[in-house]
Amino acid sequence: MQYDVIIIGAGHNGLTAAAYLANAGRKVLMLERRAVVGGCAVTEEVDPELAPGCRVSTASYIASMLRPTIIKDLKLESYGLKMVACDPGVQAAFDDGEVVGWWSDEKKMRAEMARFAATDIENFFAAEEELKRLAAYLQPFFLESPPDLYAHGIRKWSQAWRLYRRFGGIRRDEVSGLLRFLTGSLGEFLDQRFESDKLKRLILANSLYGKHGGPYQPGTAMGLLFHLLSGGDNEQQAWQGHVIGGMGSITQAMKSACEDLGVEIRTNATVRRVNVRNGVATGVTMANDTVIDAKLVASNADPKRTFLGLVEKNELNADFRRDVENIRMDGPAAKVNFVLSEEPRVNGMPADRSRSQRSLFTLIPTLQEAEDNYNACRRGNIPERLWVDCVLASNVDDTLAPGDRHMLTCFVQYLPYKLHEGSWAEKRETLGDQVTELIGQFAPNVPASVIARRVLTPVDLEAQFGITEGNIFHGDISLEQMFFMRPLPQWSQYQSPIQGLYLCGAGTHPGGGVTGAPGYNAAHAILQSGR
């Protein structure tokens, strides 16, 4: 065989897997259908004609849980990766003209809350301490395979021992607390703990990104734990950061690390089919009919695109295909990226906020409005009051645009993949207008300052980045599709029914976000198998 491993898709997880496999001596070929590596973690011009040189993180836009182990092992800082902590990590603008932030420093946060949620201060810090303690129990599972429900013999006992080591010291009240956060609703948790509507909305703003379910749906409290996992190069809990050069700087650093390790990377290289002979993957066939052989194949594509699109139907049994078909996708989010002629002047932004501290503002609905939005989304409708998360990246990073331009990237939810009436081709710019108008209600100078705008609906995210139904996580982040259930209970160990075909993308444990963890875990699963 010419290659030991072929990796389909050069997203950040594919790049992570390639680096670890190459470092272990495997000859790796990476095939990327786009002209640029990075998957959803790329930095691109919004409109080369109207605003040349004005770049933004096209899809993913904030670094939070990128594993510190991966940063160090791949020496990403030596390849130019630089991240700057967001502080406040979340900042919400409200209809009454008040702007409130969520600071990492306790003294600052207490002073902030004294303005808008004085009666909730002690309850807030007690809840944060509980959440951080419970999140720490989940932390070790990020960089290891999930428990294998189908393990036998010695492996079964080793799985049990691993769980005991992770949870042996957990108290009974912590067990109930962990289960409550994994299965309960975010809305009920917030209503029971806090009085301030603004505090509830501030917490909501950082807990349900890209996820199905309104805040009162079971299982939505889980987001509280996941956003308190560590990130950054110092393993700080709840860390969020701006990436200098945009999110593409992460994947460009990974690309350089891979190339120095001997990985061969081809762009504009579309895989049409995974080749299978007698139940064993033998390589791939390209769109131009070129056949490339390898000892094994690892797909960074999502499970549906891999098994329903790249593998011939007769190579998989009907039950497995049906289970894959039933993985919940239906991406509920869009992106709208702007080039502006001036910085947004957000109503109520405190005068003492520095330029970088003005880089975040979320336009967050109430909990009930968010619930109504999700229900409208399920019916195929675009909600009237959108939930828009805004990041003014150029306030932190001057490299993204000339000095007289400002880059604003906006994450929008809840939105349906399939519209009840019309198509996204017809409604794309209508959505863009709606987002622009909403931002204008909080920052009145924005609509007139728009130089260029690019709207990426769920359908556009699917078409551009190859993510089924525009789901940014390669499958919904819900309890029934997490841990040893991801992507399917019997196939949670990165392997598949086809011998030598692995998954290394976000459709596997531990899920989405720019973490690198699925790629890390898949590479180690391959190496441990001895292949």
Half-sphere exposure of 181 (CA within 13 A, CB side): 23
pLDDT number for residue 147: 83
pLDDT over 70 at 459, yes or no: yes
333 vs 232, more confident = 333
pLDDT number for residue 164: 67
* Chain segment 397-427, per-residue pLDDT in tens: 999 999 899 999 999 999 999 999 999 999 9
pLDDT number for residue 453: 98
pLDDT over 90 at 354, yes or no: yes
Mean pLDDT, residues 11-23 taken together: 98
CA 491, 494, 497: angle at the middle one, nearest 5? 50
64 vs 391, more confident = 391
In angstroms, the Cα distances linking 424 to 210, 428, 432, 458, 462 are 18, 5, 11, 8, 12
pLDDT number for residue 239: 79
Mean pLDDT, residues 455-468 taken together: 97
Q: Within the chain, which residue ranges are assigned CATH 3.50.50.60?
A: 3-39+245-328+476-529
Task: Tell me the DSSP string of 374-439.
Answer: HHHHHTT---SS-EEEEEEGGGT-GGGS-TT-EEEEEEEES--SS-SSS-HHHHHHHHHHHHHHHH
Mean pLDDT, residues 48-57 taken together: 97
In angstroms, the Cα distances linking 485 to 168, 305, 324, 508, 509 are 23, 18, 12, 9, 8
Q: Give the closest residue to 415 by CA, choosing from 342, 484, 472.
A: 472
For the domain covering 3-39+245-328+476-529, report its CATH number: 3.50.50.60
Write out 141-164 in H/E/C secondary structure: HHHCCCCCCCCCHHHHHHHHHHHH
Per the prediction, the chain carries an average pLDDT of: 93
Mean pLDDT, residues 186-193 taken together: 94
For 69, counting Cβ atoms within 10 Å of its Cβ (0-12 exposed, 13-18 middle, 19+ buried), the class is middle
pLDDT number for residue 111: 97
CB atoms within 10 A of CB 354: 9
pLDDT band at 336 (very low <50, low <70, confident <90, very high): very high
CA 244, 42, 428: angle at the middle one, nearest 5? 120
Phi-psi group of 331: left, alpha or beta (phi > 0 → left; psi -120 to 50 → alpha; rest → beta): beta
* Chain segment 463-512, per-residue pLDDT in tens: 999 999 999 999 998 888 998 999 999 999 999 999 999 999 999 999 98
* Chain segment 419-431, per-residue pLDDT in tens: 999 999 999 999 9
Q: What percent of the chain has pLDDT over 70?
A: 98
pLDDT number for residue 157: 78
Q: Give the closest residue to 327 by CA, choosing from 223, 482, 208, 516.
A: 482
pLDDT over 70 at 233, yes or no: no
CA 288, 293, 296: angle at the middle one, nearest 5? 120
pLDDT number for residue 221: 87
Q: What percent of the chain has pLDDT over 90?
A: 80
pLDDT number for residue 142: 85
